[in-house]
Structure 1
Amino acid sequence: MDTSGGATAAQLRLLSRRTVTVLRTVAVVVAGGAGVAQAGRQMPVVAAVVVGLLVWSAVYARFTPSRWLIVADTGVVAGLCVAQGWVVRAEALPDSTNWVLAVVTITVVGHQWFTATWGGAALTAVLVAAHLVGQAAAGPEVPGGAAMLAMWVFGEAGLSRALRMFLYKAARRADDAVAGSERARRETAVAAARRADEREHLAVLHDTAAATLFAVGTRMVDGTEPGLVRQAARDLDILAAQPQRGDTDLARLLGDVARDAPVTVRLDVSGPIRMPAISASAIEAAAREALTNVARHAGVDSAELVAARHGSTVVVEVADSGRGFDPAGVPAHRHGVTGSITERLDRVGGRARITSTPNEGTVVRLEWPDAEHGRPAGEPARGRAGDGTLSDD
């Protein structure tokens, strides 16, 4: 029996096995009942044969589609064909009321679903030959009509085989379509992961070595500051670091960010804040970039960094009272905020919102939903930079 194909073909094999076996059993019961009903004086013999056939049908239904069971089934039905003269009334032998012919027909139809094409054809030929032998043994006047019925049996077997081939071809096409869709999904996911990795690499490069070199190149520093060496060493450590696994404490990471920031930071973190390391690293990097932007653009030398859980959401805010800016007026070629803050949070399932007004300062709000590590409902949240609250909006 064909075992190729995917899930759809496998389900079709299972369904066809059950359906064909049930139909075969029902047909044998009905045909056997008809044989007993029309047996007349042959009743004892016919009844005994039908009982034996029903017992065999139960064995067949239990173990189908074993190859050797199919061969044995062919032998049993062939023996029934040869014995037609003892179990079928003479007047029923050459026509379609012959109950043994009904058993032969349902047998060859069922065998097509459990055998290869040539195997099914060979078993059909064996049963048709046995049927003709049984007809000939019953009387010389029978074989003419029996030959026509034999051709009918071949036709039914061919139709059964054609239906099987059609359904299995359709099942394989469905499996191929599903497999193609799954391949496309995997390729899309791999491409998206590759693009995300590239964007993260560019963001890290922008936040570290590129920023340090830019500061030196534009003479924001003169190259003699003792902190510049530490900054360069920290850049190399970040670029060489491997992605972290498991959980980590965001509060500890933000403490390092505040300590290394190029401006004075008032840190207000209600910790520890346990969360997945990959998400914590994204928030850490975004907060670090926000503080770097304060030093570069805000015109002030201090900022506030506040972090806490708010319900099941981790919220981090970086706020300054500097010159601010109009977010709508940021040139399209400037990717610092987008690549290093907004998209970085997007990649880990969070979001970033930047609120700024010229001459009124800037607030960078980083949010990450953390249902698994969220604090119990009703536990108070810590405050927002500047006024002691972390807002929901």
Structure 2
Amino acid sequence: MNPAPAPPAELSSDQLAAVWRGQAKWWHLGCYALVATAVVVALLEPPGPHGRWPTLVLLGGVALAYTLFGRRAIMREETVYAVLYQLCAWTCLLTIIALDPEFESWLLFFCLFPQIWATFEVRPALIGTGLALLALFTAAVAPADDPGAEVPGALVSVVISFALSAALGMFIHRIIGEAERRAAVIDELRSTRAQLAAVERAQGVQDERSRLSREIHDTLAQGFTSVIALSRAATSALDRGDVATARERLSMIEGTAVDNLAEARVIVAELTPGHLQSRTLVEALVRLTDTVTRETGIRVTSSVEGEPAPLGGNAEVVLLRGVQEALSNVRRHSGASSASVTLAYEPERVALEVTDDGAGFDPATTPPGFGLDGLRARAAELGGEVSIGRGDPRGTRLVMELPR
């Protein structure tokens, strides 16, 4: 068991161990200081029956035992070293008492008893304390001329010493144990936090991939689709000898390519969509519907209900992508001759509705597509929703609602 009192509870196990290793030097200093004090006392007091040297040698044995075994027991919490140290130290002390009963042996109690609790767990420490006190009791009673007369006083002293030592040792162990439990909890929390951070990073990477996939689908892929359709129309016009129409289609191809290039640069720079550069959302919708009308011949109209107001970059991006995806599906799948885009600003929400007069479809039997799934994901990120179904009386109707 570590000897030091508990550091602040916010420390981890590694930090707690480092603090205790740093505080262990005070245990070393205290032990050597007490042994040195005992040496000074032995030199100043009158020599015992066997002279000073046996006492000095045995005190040196205590210091040597601490150097060889005690330091390792306290620093490394190794039971073998703890047992070796306690046996050597207490053997030296009891021998000193036997050789010189008048020597102030109690000086070493201040290091030897705490070291029992510093190097053992609670139960072994209780046993060790009891054995040490029993040995001291025997050493005090046995040499007396009338051992029976010495028993009551020695017994009271032993019981009180054991109670005080056990109470103090168990109190310190409880504090240390609580600090170690808290450190373990902090370790677990830090480990969990690191795992969560790793999961969040992985999720962030996945979200960014999904975002880029949606951006590419909603911008570059649709632009390339327009380029293909316009180039085929230009080729057909040339086959018919209609140079003016071919030139017009080539001009549209150039315009679409310029827009795609702008969108690509925007995606790389992670800015707002090219259609929203220096434009309001309403202006971007008008430009987009006019472009679709020119490129496809489908008459696309746009209208605004309520008072337009800035919605923030993300909401406007999602609404614009919704119009792009809806009109892309109108162009490719519906066979419609007209379509309408309505943007409604309401107090609590903004609603986008795109309808056409094409063939329509049954959402229940149509497999999901990446574009619509991506659109729903975009809306859900902002707390909105997307619904799609049959128009009235025919065609398709897409509605996106976002909170304001």
> Where on the TM-score scale, by shorter chain, does this alignment land: which range?
0.5 to 0.7
1:155 paired residue among 166, 171, 181: 166
1:151 and 1:221, CA in 2 relative to 1: closer, same or farther beyond 3 A? farther
After TM superposition, the structure 1 = structure 2 runs for residues 226-245 of structure 1, keeping only pairs within 5 Å, are 226-241=251-266, 242-244=269-271
1:328 and 1:337, CA in 2 relative to 1: closer, same or farther beyond 3 A? same
**Aligned equivalents of 1:367, 1:220: Cα separation in 2:** 36
| SS of residue in 2 equivalent to 1:306 | strand
Q: Normalized against structure 2, the TM-score is what?
A: 0.52
Deviations 1:236-293 (A, max 9, x none): 2122214458x99533443343343344332211342221212211211121111121
After TM superposition, the structure 1 = structure 2 runs for residues 212-361 of structure 1, keeping only pairs within 5 Å, are 212-217=223-228, 221-222=233-234, 224=246, 225=249, 226-241=251-266, 242-244=269-271, 249-262=280-293, 263-269=298-304, 270-332=306-368, 334-339=369-374, 341-356=375-390, 360-361=394-395
Does structure 1 retain, via aligned residues, the 8 Å contact 2:382–2:403?
no
1:125 paired residue among 110, 117, 125: 110
**Aligned equivalents of 2:365, 2:382: Cα separation in 1:** 27
**Aligned equivalents of 1:309, 1:349: Cα separation in 2:** 16
* Aligned AA (1:302): S
| SS of residue in 1 equivalent to 2:397 | strand
**Per residue, is there more helix in 1 or in 2?**
2
| Structure 2: tracts of 5 or more residues without a match | 14-73, 76-106, 115-149, 236-245
After TM superposition, the structure 1 = structure 2 runs for residues 179-218 of structure 1, keeping only pairs within 5 Å, are 179-217=190-228
* Aligned AA (1:166): G
1:216 and 1:329, CA in 2 relative to 1: closer, same or farther beyond 3 A? farther
**Aligned equivalents of 2:197, 2:383: Cα separation in 1:** 20
Q: Alpha carbon RMSD of aligned pairs, Å?
A: 3.8
* Aligned AA (1:266): T
Q: Does 1:367 align with 2:401?
A: yes
Does structure 2 retain, via aligned residues, the 8 Å contact 1:252–1:272?
no
1:221 and 1:3, CA in 2 relative to 1: closer, same or farther beyond 3 A? farther
1:216 and 1:306, CA in 2 relative to 1: closer, same or farther beyond 3 A? closer
**Aligned equivalents of 2:280, 2:179: Cα separation in 1:** 56
1:124 and 1:181, CA in 2 relative to 1: closer, same or farther beyond 3 A? farther
Deviation at 1:363, TM superposition (A): 1.1
Deviation at 1:216, TM superposition (A): 4.6
Q: Number of paired residues?
A: 250
* Aligned AA (1:258): T
